[in-house]
């Protein structure tokens, strides 16, 4: 039985901790919030982030970072994307180079535009780093509903260790050496999911959402390939798979936030109502700036950026998308593979 730890007691970190425990591992969860730790210890429930799900009695929840990290074979970074750098700095004094870092956040660092593995590499250059991503809602994983994920790392042995740790009859994990593609698929789909929510909030139909998702995966692929990803990764779990689940489910914070803005709420009102991190908002800002630097056409991302950061009316943004210059689909989307600039 290996010791595993999860840094962060949000919904996803909690669900993965419960999954690791069910697989027979000794699991520790760290939270900086004393009240949250006490609640879980006393009630065995994380009522704010995962209500109704019971934590096993011997799953340890602690505020002691050193205790949680000591001798853990795998360290799951279950914090929002913008906290990855600070968390890596916090854990650095307490870990050694043999411990595998597993990132489960989906985002890009604001300001630098870096993928999260690049952020971690700057702070912890010697630790193996695996991205665990795919179409997965914490609410369903915690209830052991069949789910598939992908563990991505250039070092396939590290990916396989993570695969073995999480694999179960209800959680199937694949491996993929294209960490760049898996990271970008997970981060960029949040932008499209936010847009899908806006379309729902505006009262548009299934035709609109199908168009948005299809053209959205083309945008993701164009930017991803320009940033070094392999094109086929975007046809897999962290591309089309994650896009589908995030654009269609009310579990998705990004879609819920988009619905609220489509209904006319301001960005601040939306964040106040969702009450959790909406990764797609920051991802839109970062991806838009990176796409301009790389000269990659991303009209949907540009339209969502205009709504979030320039005060554009969502209906006007959709109208401008629909009335752009005419194009040939195959020239823009599929050429000897999937995507083409």
What is the mean pLDDT of each successive set of 10 residues along the chain, which is 341 residues long?
95 97 98 94 95 96 96 97 97 97 97 96 97 97 98 97 98 98 97 96 96 96 96 96 95 95 95 92 96 96 96 93 85 47 43
Residue 331: per-residue pLDDT: 55
Residue 336: per-residue pLDDT: 41
Shared-domain flag, residues 259 and 162: no
Tell me, yes or no, whether 92 lies in a domain: yes
Residue at which a domain ends, from 150, 177, 204: 177
Tell me, yes or no, whether 339 lies in a domain: no
Shared-domain flag, residues 41 and 10: yes
Shared-domain flag, residues 327 and 191: yes
Report the CATH number at residue 248. 1.10.1040.10
Shared-domain flag, residues 208 and 272: yes
* Range 57-70 burial, b when 16+ CB lie within 10 A, else e: eebbbbeebeebbe
Residue 330: per-residue pLDDT: 67
Residue at which a domain ends, from 177, 206, 224: 177
What is the number of domains present in the chain?
2
pTM of the model: 0.93
Shared-domain flag, residues 297 and 263: yes
Active-site annotation, residues: 189
Shared-domain flag, residues 283 and 209: yes
Tell me, yes or no, whether 338 lies in a domain: no
Residue at which a domain ends, from 177, 210, 226: 177
Shared-domain flag, residues 164 and 188: no
Shared-domain flag, residues 95 and 188: no
Shared-domain flag, residues 297 and 187: yes
Range of the domain at 313: 180-332
Separation of alpha carbons 148 and 180, rounded Å? 19
Residue 329: per-residue pLDDT: 80
Separation of alpha carbons 245 and 243, rounded Å? 6
Shared-domain flag, residues 281 and 215: yes
Shared-domain flag, residues 195 and 322: yes
Tell me, yes or no, whether 117 lies in a domain: yes
């Amino acid at each position: 039985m290996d010791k595993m730890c999860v840094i962060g007691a949000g919904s996803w970190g909690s669900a993965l901790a419960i999954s690791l425990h069910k697989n027979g591992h000794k699991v520790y969860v760290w939270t900086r919030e004393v009240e949250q730790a006490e609640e879980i210890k006393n009630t065995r429930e994380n009522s704010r982030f995962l209500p109704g799900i019971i934590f096993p009695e011997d799953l340890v929840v602690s505020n002691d970072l050193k205790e949680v990290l000591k001798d853990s074979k795998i360290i799951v970074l279950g914090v929002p994307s913008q906290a990855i750098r600070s968390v890596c700095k916090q854990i650095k004094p307490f870990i050694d180079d043999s411990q595998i870092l597993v990132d489960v956040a989906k985002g890009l660092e604001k300001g630098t535009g870096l993928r999260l593995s690049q952020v971690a590499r700057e702070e912890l250059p010697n630790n193996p780093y695996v991205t665990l991503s795919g179409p997965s809602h914490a609410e369903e994983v915690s209830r052991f509903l069949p789910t598939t994920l992908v563990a991505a790392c250039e070092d396939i042995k590290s990916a396989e260790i993570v695969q073995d740790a999480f694999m179960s009859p209800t959680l199937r994990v694949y491996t993929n050496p294209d960490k760049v593609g898996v990271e970008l698929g997970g981060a960029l789909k949040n932008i499209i999911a936010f847009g899908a929510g806006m379309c729902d909030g505006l009262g548009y139909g299934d035709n609109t959402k199908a168009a948005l998702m299809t053209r959205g995966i083309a945008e993701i692929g164009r930017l991803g390939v320009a940033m070094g990803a392999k094109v086929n990764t975007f046809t897999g779990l962290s591309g089309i798979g994650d896009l589908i689940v995030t654009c269609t489910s009310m579990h998705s914070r990004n879609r819920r936030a988009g619905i609220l803005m489509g209904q006319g709420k301001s960005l601040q009102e939306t964040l106040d109502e969702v009450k959790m991190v909406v990764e797609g908002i920051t991802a839109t800002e970062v991806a838009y700036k990176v796409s301009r630097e790389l000269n990659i056409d991303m009209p949907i991302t540009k339209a969502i950026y205009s709504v979030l950061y320039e005060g554009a009316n969502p209906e006007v943004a959709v109208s401008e998308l629909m009335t752009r210059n005419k194009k040939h689909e195959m020239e823009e989307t599929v050429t000897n593979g999937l995507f083409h600039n």
